[in-house]
């Protein structure tokens, strides 16, 4: 009888050479992902989180790799527009910003009229005149 896919996969993993450094780094980041998310939600800088985790030997890779993982696995999941049901998960300093932005009225100024297009004989764009017109300068 044919083996199941998971059995085939298990055999392949056993025959496969040692995991690469990239694989190890990703596994290490995914292991601390929840801690990183919590620290970022509380307002800590990405570099501060990386420095602490690197010093405490929780991760062994560099800041650029850490930043790439944060952008890929944490920030890309977050949606740019927050619904009201998600407002409870937003850090307090961001809540205040969102609250202030919602309180501001939307300006209702009309769009200013654009200048008429130049005459057909006048070229469009900037033209340099090395001899300045004194009347225009005053």
Higher pLDDT, 137 or 102: 137
Residues with Cβ within 8 Å of residue 21, at least 6 apart in sequence: 61
Alpha-carbon radius of gyration of the chain: 29
Q: Answer yes or no: is 31 within a domain.
A: yes
Q: Is the dihedral of CA 76, 81, 84, 87 positive or negative?
A: positive
pLDDT winner (highest mean) among 12-16, 28-32, 114-118, 133-137 = 28-32
User: Where in the sequence is the domain holding 26, given as residue range(s)?
Assistant: 19-80+88-95
- Please tell me the pTM assigned to this model: 0.47
Q: Answer yes or no: is 133 within a domain.
A: no
Say if residues 66 and 40 touch (Cβ distance below 8 Å): no
Q: For 15-74, how does the pLDDT look when each residue is reduced to its tens digit (9 = 90+)?
A: 887 778 888 899 899 999 999 999 999 999 999 999 999 999 999 999 999 999 999 999
Q: Answer yes or no: is 48 within a domain.
A: yes
Q: Answer yes or no: is 107 within a domain.
A: no
Say if residues 28 and 61 touch (Cβ distance below 8 Å): yes
Number of domains in the chain: 1
Say if residues 98 and 87 touch (Cβ distance below 8 Å): yes
Q: Answer yes or no: is 72 within a domain.
A: yes
- Residue 30: closest CA among 75, 60, 78, 70: 70
């Amino acid at each position: 009888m044919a083996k199941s896919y998971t059995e085939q996969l298990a055999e392949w993993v056993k025959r496969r050479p040692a995991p690469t450094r990239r694989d190890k780094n990703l596994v290490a980041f995914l292991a601390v992902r929840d801690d990183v998310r919590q620290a970022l939600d509380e307002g800590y800088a990405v570099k501060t989180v990386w420095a602490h985790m690197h010093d405490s030997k929780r991760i062994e890779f560099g800041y650029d790799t850490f930043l790439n993982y944060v952008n890929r696995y944490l920030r890309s999941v977050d949606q740019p527009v927050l619904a009201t049901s998600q407002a409870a998960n937003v850090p307090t300093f961001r809540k205040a910003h969102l609250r202030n932005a919602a309180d501001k009225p939307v300006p209702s100024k009309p769009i200013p009229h654009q200048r008429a297009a130049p005459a057909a004989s006048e070229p469009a764009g900037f033209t340099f005149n090395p001899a300045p017109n004194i009347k225009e300068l005053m």
